[in-house]
A and B are shown apart, each in its own frame.
Chain A
Amino acid sequence: MKLLDRNGFRTDDFSRAGADGAARLDAVIVPFADLPSTAARAGKRLGVDIPNTVTVEQLAPHFEKLALIGIAFPASTDGRGFSLGRRLRRAGFKGLLRASGPLIPDQFPYALACGFDEIELPDASAARQPESQWLQALGAITLPYQRGYARPSSIFEQRRQARKEAAHG
């Protein structure tokens, strides 16, 4: 697995529970089933892996102890994670949001817009698609249309501002 954020490939601070030495690390990801029985520990960061069928209502009670939620993308064509990520952000989750699965570079800007911070790629995907392709994908479309997503600006927003300036000018 290879971790990617908006600056490129990076090392993963988190380990999965059960991996060698995971218990000693500062940041551990547990399976969703173990979440209710896992307590937050002082000085340690807790993450959870979830399938894309888990609901916000199931997760919201745990938001405070969670530093990371990793949503599984079983295939690049399964877009449920985009909507789930968006729902989690709108429900107030402030920690790291991770997309876990074989996404492709063209989906990277979509994932960031829907509130994700990082993508955890299978090694085979990362081997075929170098860092440069992922970073380039972020700049492919300077301004998208939709407003209200986690992006610096949008066409609808720029037009709104132009109208506002015209009204005051």
Chain B
Amino acid sequence: MYRYDEFDERFVRERVAQFRDQVNRRLSGALTEEEFRPLRLQNGLYLQLHAYMLRIAIPYGVLSSQQLCQLAVIADKYDRGYGHFTTRTNLQFNWPKLKDAPDILDLLADVQMHCIQTSGNDIRNVTADQFAGVAGDEIEDPRPVAELIRQWSSLHPEFSFLPRKFKIAVIASQADRAVMKSHDVGIRIVRNKAGESGYEIFAGGGLGRTPMVGKRVREFLPKGQLLAYLEALLRVYNLEGRRDNKFKARIKILVHEIGIDAFRDRVEAEFARADAFSDDENAELARISAQFEVRNYEKLSARSETFEAARKSDPAFAEWVAHSLFAHKVDGYAAVTISLKPVGGVPGDMTSDQMRFFADLTDRFSLGELRVTHAQNLVLPNVKQDDLHALWRELGKAGLATPNVGLVTDIISCPGLDYCALATARSIPIAQAISNRFADKARQDEIGPLQIKISGCINACGHHHVGHIGILGLEKRGQESYQITLGGDPTENMAIGELLGPGLAAGDVPAAIERIVGVYLDKRADGETFIETVKRLGVSEFKAAFLAGAQNEAA
């Protein structure tokens, strides 16, 4: 993974000192609260319902075991012994004090981490595919490009006071595992007909109150021109994005209002005047890429006899394997997804003990590296197949071998009203109730792959729009009310879910989900997954079942 050079190191250290000074200027009154607010947010510090919340960047979701250990230290010393992984692969601490924030930043800098631009109207933490660099279907590893953008966007002199936040994702395969098209800018590394690699660029995607699928703004951008192109695109947005209404300030609204063709023309006109640094951008990318290369893979055969034998003799292991493995590009290895969603648990939460436990497993089984996924699970990307059975036994001891990755109980949920100042309803208890309702593992297996995503407000941090079943918590006349959407899809076929009907009370949500699932089980063709059935049938039959049940409950 990427290691800071002397420049990165000094930059992050100076950034800590700068934030410490900003806090002092706020305390002395030199900065008003209004002036301090954007500075605080640019350092990931939110004022929440009960306390401050500090959001730590985990660039493109990659963590070392050493970094995870340090997060455990911070959780114990400055929080209540746990942290919360978000859908942007960040980690949030919910209970730090303002005066401690600079000290926490110092501890983060010690392990090459920071909180830069995890909030605010600026370029946010860049995300990538959780299997980046180990997936066999990638043209190349997207993480070096994400890292290049991370550096370029940090404390950008022109783009730190944008109309609104700006999120970028980078992938390098046809399959989209990073919800790339829901980003302000989505980048896919592709090859052109001549076989050269370059960038396909999408703009104007987003979730939130106005969900939009990103539109293609550039079919092929040659290597070496990415930063110049992004600079041109951001400049058009910075100058022309709406600032009269916070809810219409994202780039998706600009792209929607002027149209993708007009937007493209403006970006291209700006880009035509850009400085060309192309040779050097490639050299810099090569420097970064070299650091991501894993040089200590062992030469193994593609088939592990140890693994195959364990799979045959241990059905519980075989069941976990069926849900948790992803094919690795190197023979004899596998990428393993570890569910952070035990039945009835809190999606995304991890205690400091669990952090230390994972750090140890990461060192023993995954060459010291782990990944955080946007679905709030973890990935050990470099596990020898020979070691899978041993790893599974270790996970089981800690209660972390839940074989439910991708199933109905693997729910994405934002923190909701239990923590978040923006929330209009609770999310976590809804996730827990659904998880408990579908706790029976045989039933989960019968239902198969099904993604439920829950947001506690219209900002859609829980990605409900792209959930196969999406749940949005709102407040209606002082009561929590949950809207259910169907047919959302976070992949390369990204689709926004359709609303099924009026909102439900919290207690009625699990039964409504069961009715929807019931229609699928009734109507599915052989081998058809939930989302395939929904796409084939359309929503009407599901809607009918949803509404029939809702009326019964009202009656």
Contacts and interface: CB of A to CB of B under 8 A. Distances in A.
A47 interface: no
Nearest to B156: A146
A140 interface: yes
B285 to A, nearest CB: 11
B161 A106 contact: no
Contact of A82 (B11, B18, B29, B158): B158
B21 interface: yes
B465 interface: no
A19 to B, nearest CB: 29
Nearest to A124: B32
A11 interface: no
A163 B287 CA distance: 10
Given A104-B31, A163-B283, A79 B7 contact: no
A106 B25 CA distance: 11
Most-contacted residue by chain B among A79, A82, A86, A147 (CB, 10 A): A79
Contact of B18 (A107, A141, A155): A141
Contacts of A80: 238-239, 243
B235 A83 contact: yes
Contacts of B275: 147-148
A136 B280 CA distance: 32
Nearest to B121: A77
B155 interface: yes
Nearest to B241: A80
Interface string A64-102: 000000000000111110111011001000000000001
Nearest to A109: B157
Question: Which secondary structure characterizes the binding site on chain B?
Answer: helix
Interface string A101-132: 01011110110011000000000000011100
Contacts of B280: 156, 160, 163
Given A76-B38, A77-B38, A155-B151, A143 B7 contact: yes
Interface string B1-39: 000010110110011011001100100011110010011
Interface string B480-515: 000000000000000000000000000000000000
Interface of B: 5, 7-8, 10-11, 14-15, 17-18, 21-22, 25, 29-32, 35, 38-39, 121, 151-152, 154-162, 235, 238-239, 243, 273, 275, 277, 280, 283-284, 287
Given A106-B22, A136-B21, A145-B152, 18 more contacts: A76-B35, A79-B158, A82-B159, A82-B238, A83-B238, A102-B35, A104-B31, A113-B158, A129-B25, A141-B11, A141-B14, A141-B15, A144-B155, A144-B157, A146-B156, A155-B8, A156-B151, A156-B152
26 contacts: A76-B161, A78-B243, A80-B238, A82-B157, A83-B238, A102-B35, A105-B25, A106-B18, A106-B39, A128-B30, A129-B30, A130-B30, A133-B30, A141-B18, A142-B10, A142-B14, A144-B157, A145-B11, A146-B157, A148-B277, A149-B158, A155-B7, A155-B151, A159-B284, A160-B283, A163-B280
